[in-house]
Each structure stands twice: as C-alpha cells, then as structure tokens.
Amino acid sequence: MSQPLKDKVALVAGATRGAGRGIAVELGAAGATVYVTGRSTRTRRSEYDRPETIEDTADLVTEAGGQGIAVPTDHLDPAQVRTLVGRIADEQGSLDILVNDIWGGEKLFAWDSPVWEHDLDKGLRLLRLAVETHAITNHHALPLLLRRPGGLVVEMTDGTAEYNRDHYRNSFFYDLAKASVLRMAFSLGHELGPRGATAVALTPGWLRSEMMLEAFGVREDNWRDALERVPHFAISETPRYVGRAVAALAADPGVARWNGESLSAGQLARVYGFTDLDGSRPDAWRYLVEVQDAGKPADTTGYR
C-alpha cells in the first residue's frame, strides 16, 4: 500500500472529531506521524461534553497505518501551544504539515440572529475559539514548519471564498469567523510562499460529522434515512473525504501552485482523483449554488 507521507510529520490542531479526525486518519493512512490535539480526552471533556477523544483519534491514525500521538492542548493558551510545538521539535526535529481545524463554536451561535440580539459573550467566545486559536498556533508552529522547505499549512473553514463572499453564513459571528480564516490563509500565503511553504484554506462540503449525524437522528451506516426530512443531505460527505483532500495536497510536489487559495474537497477530488469512502465524488459547493440555493428539487445527478 502506497504511503507517500511516510517520512512526514503533521500536526492536526482540533482533531477530536469531525473534519479534524477525518484528516488525521487519512494523513495516517498515507504514512505520516500525526500529532492530534484537542481538549476532550478519556479523562476530561470540553464544554461540548461529547464522547469523542483525541486518544481515540490517535488510535485510528495508527490503525490506518501511521503513528498517532495525542497531546491534550487548549489552543487558546499560548503556553500550552508553545509546549506542544517544543515537544514536536524535540521528538521529530521538524514539522511538515499543519492543519488548523480548531473550532469549538458549534453551540455558541444562534442561526439568523442579528448581532444586537445575539448573546455577546457567546459570540466573542466563538471568535476566540475559531480565529484567535489559529493565530496562536501559527505563531508558535510556523518557525518549526519553516525549518525545511515544502511545508504545508491548511486553514480549515466552512465555505469557499467565492461562496462566502456572496452569502450570509448563519449569523454575524459565524460569518465573521469563517471569513477571517479564509483571509488568514491568504495572508499566510504571502508570508510563507517566499519562504518555501504553502498555505491554503480548505472547506469540506456538507459534513456527516458525529454531531451532524446525531442532530439528524441517524448513523453513518443509515444516514440516507434522513433524506425524507432533509432531501439535500444527499450531497453530504464523510469526514474522510476532506481528509483525503489534505493528504493529496501534502503528497503533491507541486502544491505551491495553490498557495493562498481557497479550495474545497469536491474541487480537489476532480484534480487529484480521490473519492469518498463510498467511491463517489460529492461536489457540495457547486450543488449548493446550482441546486439547493436555486430552489430546485434535491438531485445529486452529476454532483457526486
């Protein structure tokens, strides 16, 4: 089995569940050593109060063929992030792939609530978790990533730059958080490109995360049962799909051509030829514009 990332070291910040877990596992499947961080461990949960843990993610990375290393880290605490990066430097000597998937804001925003009605403390907490964490992690991790050329930084967000430019995303605070991360990747591209590294923003499509499946009352093995209530959920994808997008980027010797750009899993699947676990190639953001937002009946023909 090909492992193009066998000698690579990755840090997936925010890998407890969802896209972060899917990315960590696929980097492991490609042979990488993957440090996975988050606040939920087997002995302590974050305010999400969910069962997924970073230790479970690390085990899945190792089972997939890589080496998973769980390090409990609150990325809002610069000292903890500094310690994390110091450990990676001591144990590995380098860092090749940094994925900033830190979020933690799922329970903090109110859909379609204007800023003057939104809970201010929750909104500001969301921005700290979704934006400040990324800045802190980049500040401490990028000097290590720049030790050797070819490093890759992936800023995870929700929505492409094009889609988010034209669409209001749920609430003032949610919209601002996702736009900030998109711009962060653009800025990093300008700072990293001349120094031999690449930064991109990447979005999954409609993600069948643990929380999404639970919200719809289904599991991964019967997710289509939700289509009667949510027909457009037919375009959804597993977290492993965007994981394969990151693995493909990390294995591409010409990845610098994407520097500073906003990308989607569906877009990269067409370029690199990978599929989701079921063999399909869902292209959610094209579907959203051409089918869902256009008011057409749910039909994924030509979109997955």
> In the structure, what pLDDT confidence band is assigned to residue 47 with cuts at 50, 70 and 90?
confident
- Average pLDDT, rounded, for the chain: 97
- Tens digit of pLDDT for each residue in 65-104? 999 999 999 999 999 999 999 999 999 999 999 999 999 9
In the chain, how long is the greatest CA-to-CA distance?
A: 55
What's the pLDDT score for residue 100? Answer: 98
Residue with tokens 């964490």: 133
Task: Count CB atoms within 10 A of the CB of residue 300.
Answer: 17
Find the Cα–Cα–Cα–Cα dihedral 277, 278, 283, 285, rounded to 10°: -70
Query: Helices 239-251 and 265-272 sit at what angle, rounded to 10 degrees?
Result: 50
The alpha carbon dihedral of 142, 145, 150, 154 has a sign of negative
Domains of the chain in start order, with CATH, are 9-292 (3.40.50.720)
The predicted-structure confidence for 210-260, as pLDDT tens digits, reads as follows 999 999 999 999 999 999 999 999 999 999 999 999 999 999 999 999 999
pLDDT at 155: 98
Predicted confidence band at 274 (pLDDT cuts at 50, 70, 90)? very high
Contact 84, 136 (CB under 8 A): no
Please give the residue that has the higher pLDDT: either 282 or 47: 282
Among all chains, which residue has been given the structure tokens 């990151």? 246
Per-residue pLDDT, 1 = 60
Per-residue model confidence (pLDDT) at position 276: 98
State pLDDT tens for residues 132-188.
999 999 999 999 999 999 999 999 999 999 999 999 999 999 999 999 999 999 999
CB atoms inside a 10 Å sphere around CB 173: 25
Q: What is the pLDDT of residue 227?
A: 97
Q: Strand, helix or coil at 88?
A: helix
pTM of the entire structure? 0.97
Q: Can you give the pLDDT at residue 112?
A: 83
Render the burial of 272-299: b for 16+ CB within 10 Å, e for the rest.
eebebeeeebbbbbbbbeebbeeeeeee
